[in-house]
């Protein structure tokens, strides 16, 4: 039960959620809700692990994961953007599809070892007391990528012209269309980007944070938690970063609660009755639901909503948003 270690580990596992959630923020900002994150993440995790195992090159593995997630997301894009299918059902089927593909292609990979993404310590920054040890010491590459990704995504969405176009397409596609922004093009692009990030977050699991392939337990619902995190974060990358780390920290805390015999001077019930641990394992999922309740009521209070056109297909010339 060391606070510093828990924070350190929380940031590292939270990075998985952070990357997937920011990808989904891009997609949803353009008006495309992709509930297939879990499937893309699992496929990405499989692609990364298998590539790393077969080629021994972890960079190729990352590329494979990004492409796996991205290509899968294009199926969702085609069906929802061109065919105007229901985004909810399509996303769900994408999860099934991704899971099935990952299980078939990942057959026989369990228990193998593959190269992983290196951990390293940043010079200078790691010298800062406490913060240096938590944030900049012996973290893996993904974590540092996460530090850059969130603020860059924030800047891109709120401060740049393509970001403005992105938000316009998600809020008022008809208006964006009249300004010459290609609604379909923007939606395809960001759905694809969302898929790439989801795939990458899968790689973050299988070749970095908990290396290995454990069939569908590899992701164990983290893709869905990432989708919930997007709502909790109110479609803001910086809040997604905070939420991801907080969630990672809580996960680690729950794990560490099982260790000591005494907790705060009391007998630790989880140490003496191991079955109570099942209640600890429930907590991340319960907390996700509670975070959603909190997030949505706070969003309503501040009048921040989902992008107005989220979930709506755009058909040029038809009445709509």
Residues that bind another protein (CB under 8 A): 35, 39, 75, 78-79, 82-86, 88-90, 92-108, 221, 224-225, 227-228, 231, 273, 275-276, 278-279, 281-282, 285-286, 288-289, 292-293, 296-297, 300
Measured from the CB of residue 92, what is the shortest distance to another protein in angstroms?
7
Nearest approach in angstroms of CB 97 to another protein is 4
Q: Which is nearer to another protein, 5 or 315 (CB)?
A: 315
Least distance (Å) between residue 57 CB and another protein: 21
Q: Are 52 and 205 in contact (CB under 8 A)?
A: no
Closest to another protein by CB, 47 or 134: 47
Pairing of strands 262-263, 119-120: unpaired
Instruction: Closer to another protein by CB, 50 or 165: give it.
Output: 50
- Tell me the closest approach of the beta carbon of residue 288 to another protein, in angstroms: 5
Phi, psi values for residue 139, rounded to 5°: -100, 160
Smallest distance from another protein to CB 281, Å? 5
Q: Which residues contact 84 (CB under 8 A, 6 or more apart)?
A: 313, 315
Structure tokens at 95: 């999860």
Nearer to another protein, 11 or 72 (CB): 72
Q: Which pair of structure tokens corresponds to residue 221?
A: 């619902």
Q: For residues 189 and 231, which CB has a smaller minimum distance to another protein in the complex?
A: 231
Whether the CB-CB separation of 191 and 32 falls below 8 Å is answered with yes
User: Least distance (Å) from another protein to the CB of residue 237?
Assistant: 19
Question: What pairs with residue 263 in β-bridges?
Answer: 266
Q: What is the largest CA-CA distance in the chain?
A: 69
Choose among 93, 35, 307, 91: nearest CA to 183: 307
- Distance linking the first and last C-alpha atoms of the chain: 52
68 alpha carbon, distance to own chain's centre: 15
Q: How far is the CB of 101 from another protein (least distance, A)?
A: 6
Q: Which is nearer to another protein, 48 or 168 (CB)?
A: 48
Tell me whether residue 12 or residue 288 sits nearer to another protein (CB atom): 288
Minimum distance from CB of 230 to another protein (Å)?
10
Containing 38, the helix (H) or strand (E) segment is: helix 37-55
Give 92 or 238: the residue with its C-beta nearer to another protein. Answer: 92
Q: Crossing angle, helix 222-232 and helix 37-55, to 10 degrees? A: 130
- At 120, which helix (H) or strand (E)? strand 119-120
Q: What are the b/e assignments for 204-228, b being 16+ CB within 10 Å?
A: bbbbbbebbbbebebbeebbbbbbb
């Amino acid at each position: 039960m060391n606070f510093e270690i828990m924070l350190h580990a929380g940031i590292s596992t939270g990075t998985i959620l952070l990357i997937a959630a920011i990808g989904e923020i891009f997609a949803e900002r353009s008006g495309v809700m992709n509930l297939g994150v879990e499937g893309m993440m699992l496929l990405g995790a499989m692609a990364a692990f298998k590539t790393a195992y077969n080629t021994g090159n972890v960079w190729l593995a990352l590329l494979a994961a990004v492409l796996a997630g991205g290509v899968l997301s294009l199926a969702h894009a085609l069906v929802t953007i061109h065919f105007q299918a229901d985004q909810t059902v399509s996303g769900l089927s994408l999860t099934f599809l991704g899971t099935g593909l990952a299980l078939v292609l990942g057959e026989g990979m369990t228990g193998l070892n593959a190269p992983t993404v290196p951990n390293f310590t940043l010079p200078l920054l790691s010298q800062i007391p406490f913060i240096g040890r938590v944030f900049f010491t012996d973290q893996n590459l993904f974590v540092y990528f996460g530090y850059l990704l969130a603020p860059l995504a924030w800047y891109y969405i709120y401060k740049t012209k393509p970001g403005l176009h992105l938000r316009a397409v998600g809020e008022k596609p008809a208006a964006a269309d009249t300004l010459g922004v290609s609604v379909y093009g923007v939606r395809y692009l960001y759905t694809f980007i969302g898929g790439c990030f989801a795939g990458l977050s899968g790689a973050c699991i299988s070749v970095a944070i908990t290396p290995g392939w454990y069939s569908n337990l590899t992701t164990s619902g983290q893709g869905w938690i990432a989708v919930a995190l997007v709502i909790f974060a109110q479609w803001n990358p910086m809040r997604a970063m905070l939420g991801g780390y907080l969630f990672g920290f809580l996960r680690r805390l729950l794990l560490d609660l099982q260790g000591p015999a005494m907790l705060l001077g009391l007998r630790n019930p989880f140490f003496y009755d191991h079955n109570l641990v099942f209640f600890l394992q429930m907590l991340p999922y319960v907390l996700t639901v509670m975070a959603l309740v909190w997030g949505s009521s706070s969003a309503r209070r501040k009048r921040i909503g989902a992008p107005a056109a989220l979930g709506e297909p755009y058909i040029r010339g038809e009445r709509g948003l």
